[in-house]
Chains A and B, each alone.
Chain A
């Protein structure tokens, strides 16, 4: 009883504050617009009048439902009226906070106070919509009622789920089914068959070849960005995921690669006009050298120091590129335009060709990363990541291994930079802010450190989804930040964690065999 009330109170306060925050940053409107898109009862956000109030009510219902649902978390044993009371408390508390938020903003806006001076997202039209086009008092009461009712519903559903034996049975059944499917040797055996793998490989290759042709240029652009970020993620994964060195200035290598490629191929400012494939090679070489330059003196630093030093290094590179000091070499803040593009059989690359090239590079990079992971060096990296002192004691040359990881990571970034500059036909200092490093780091961590499918998944989730959900553009970084914190608390190993190589116990027969072989 007491815990139920306490949990209800805390859940209510949290969701109430979240609601007011979302209200103030204008997300409630965007959210209702998205629900409208989903349900198909609006023409879009630009047209507030046609946006049905029902969408807003749906947002409130969802928030209220979660308030009640979460308020009953972890209390499986309670009676129905205890859960009712918990849900009621949660609903009333969050409802009152929402009431206050709506009533205050509404009253101020009705009285003609210009809220947008201080809170730019408090557009009077939006506020009018949030009030259901009625008085602040009536609207606030509606919010209160919605939160309370749906919080009760949420706690009731949670209660039902917790008591219903059939549900528990269903969950157990599902789990058993999945595990038996996993265990079933037939499927596993199927994948061990080389012919099956060959067919799968061919099918994948054909699909990958025809996808860019079918997609159209918009999708090719988005997926190209995703592919470049997969390359970056694979590179940073070698540094952070395999060898455990937190490098926050990864963008420096990306920038060096992109600028090397651009300066060697663009007509301005040097007009070298090198062959593109050579220039891409040069990008890899220069960014690797940059990695060597940075890595040699600082790689014996401890984790968080290393993070800050590399962050500083990334900023130094960006500031230097745009400074007057190097403006004759790098063209300063203007950036380099008309970067060279690859030519195939006398034709400049189209978006489809680019996509094919990027896919090929990603596949090669995946192959390299996979082979590295399973190699002796890869195991040395993992040992360093887990415990550097122990790794050293077992005979790993930690310094050399760490340098090698940094160099390989830098090489991947150099290649990605060359592709980036070539595809955009432009490169400027503002393409290489610290946020690029953070984005790549997010991909590695959200996907799962050290996990190759995780990186690909992370790049799709973090670079692909925001491009598709354009309305969420402004909120992307906010979600990134929250996601990083939540990930670290809830699932630090990432969405698709790297599996560990398990020690296989040899069968008795094999041991016998080995023993007899040794004997004579």
Chain B
């Protein structure tokens, strides 16, 4: 450690980084001190509310971030269109829910009952299947059409293709479904704005059903993915391809099919996150994938890109930073996107390998 420090050369870039770090630390310390010992605008109930929001949103970020990490781990490219993959999943879920709420399933007690409220569990399962399936299909086609022909091309080429695909998908959705905001039709048992009331510091904080539902589901999906990657044959071949494509091919792994399956799995996770987004937040339009996509990428970088537990942790952390950050720093809530981007820049300046990522080898970097 000391030896390392002694060998450190003070280049202008390093000095600049240290200066930036110092400024950031002083600023953070000052703002947090002010919030903690200042006027005390927020009571414990408010903090609790921020915490809940952060965890729920963080779960969705984590699901999307896993998609970035999986693809990056294998192809070393940023799948810029991943947010749009999620957006199409949100649309698919919306249409399925609309259809279920239009199908009548009258019972003796209530003749105007719809299928959605008569069998909410079945309806929700089918909605998630539709959303995840659509996103998986979009991811699969995206790889096949926009990325596969470019394998082996210089690095910028697939990235630009991904940007193009992202613009295309976003505008296709706008032209097909219109630019207006739409509202998810949740079943009555999972209605937005209803939930358990939990007492915190003398006041009651609502723990919404949709929030709990999304959080639990995202944790379940992450656990499932983790088991899949660690235990199944597909997971093993995915890890092998990520390690070394040529060696994996020599061992009899069909690299192309593994890459396709990776995109399908990323799509499933992103589509589920998209449906959750709709169920939890209600309103959405064709821009719904853009910011979550970029933030999930931030989360993936924060955790160490290419690293699955890193993406999960990064997603959760980013969700928390975003909801607690403005209050902690005493900033406006309209600046919460700035916080996410600032975190991204700071992580990349100081620890490009992320919190859990190993230092990438020269070839990968």
Contacts and interface: CB of A to CB of B under 8 A. Distances in A.
Contacts of B175: 25-26, 121, 474-475, 478
B95 interface: yes
Residue of B12, B159, B169 with most chain A CB atoms under a 10 A cut-off = B159
B326 to A, nearest CB: 11
Nearest to B76: A304
B78 A484 contact: no
A484 B163 contact: yes
Contact of A312 (B95, B176, B294, B331): B294
Given A121-B175, A297-B20, A301-B348, A484 B294 contact: no
Interface residues of B, number: 55
Contacts of B365: 302
B337 A313 contact: no
Contact of A21 (B20, B158, B172, B352): B172
A316 B164 contact: no
Contact of A246 (B159, B164, B352): B159
B157 interface: yes
B161 A296 contact: no
B344 A483 contact: no
Given A119-B176, A445-B160, A478 B13 contact: no
Contact of A297 (B13, B153, B169, B337): B13
B213 interface: no
A198 B334 CA distance: 58
A305 interface: yes
A297 B149 contact: no
Contacts of B110: none
B168 interface: yes
Interface string B327-365: 000011011011011101100110010000000000001
Contact of A315 (B155, B163, B178, B337): B337
A316 B342 contact: yes
B184 interface: no
Contact of B161 (A246, A323, A477, A485): A485
Interface in B7-62: 12-13, 16-17, 20
B53 to A, nearest CB: 20
A308 B297 contact: yes
Contacts of B348: 298, 301, 305, 309
A149 B132 CA distance: 40
Given A118-B177, A246-B159, A308-B294, A478 B20 contact: no
Contact of B171 (A248, A309, A319, A481): A481
Contacts of A244: 156
Contact of A319 (B156, B164, B338): B338
A278 interface: no
Residue of B16, B77, B167, B170 with most chain A CB atoms under a 10 A cut-off = B167
Contacts, number: 149
A480 B159 CA distance: 15
Contacts of A311: 294
B165 interface: yes
A244 B145 CA distance: 25
A123 to B, nearest CB: 12
Contacts of B156: 244, 246, 303
Interface in A311-341: 311-313, 315-316, 319-320, 323-325
Nearest to A301: B348
Contacts of B17: 297
A483 B79 CA distance: 18
Contacts of B155: 303-304
Interface string B97-115: 0100000000000000000
Contacts of A297: 13, 16-17, 20, 345, 349
A323 B294 contact: no
Nearest to A22: B175
Contact of A309 (B12, B160, B344): B344
Given A246-B156, A303-B155, A481-B171, A489 B13 contact: no
A319 B334 contact: yes
Nearest to B291: A315
Contacts of A281: none
Interface in B123-170: 145-146, 149-150, 153, 155-161, 163-170
A294 B95 CA distance: 43
B159 A303 contact: yes
B315 to A, nearest CB: 16
A277 to B, nearest CB: 33
A492 interface: yes
Residue of B98, B149, B166, B171 with most chain A CB atoms under a 10 A cut-off = B171
A59 interface: no
A301 B158 CA distance: 18
Contacts of A302: 365
Given A309-B344, A309-B345, A478-B175, 18 more contacts: A25-B176, A118-B177, A119-B176, A121-B176, A296-B16, A303-B155, A305-B301, A308-B298, A312-B294, A315-B341, A316-B338, A319-B338, A478-B171, A481-B168, A482-B164, A484-B167, A488-B146, A492-B157
18 contacts: A21-B172, A25-B172, A120-B177, A246-B159, A296-B12, A297-B13, A301-B352, A308-B301, A309-B344, A323-B335, A441-B163, A478-B172, A478-B175, A480-B164, A480-B168, A481-B167, A485-B164, A489-B149
Among all A-B residue pairs, the 7 with the closest Cβ atoms: A484-B164, A481-B168, A481-B167, A312-B341, A120-B178, A25-B175, A488-B161
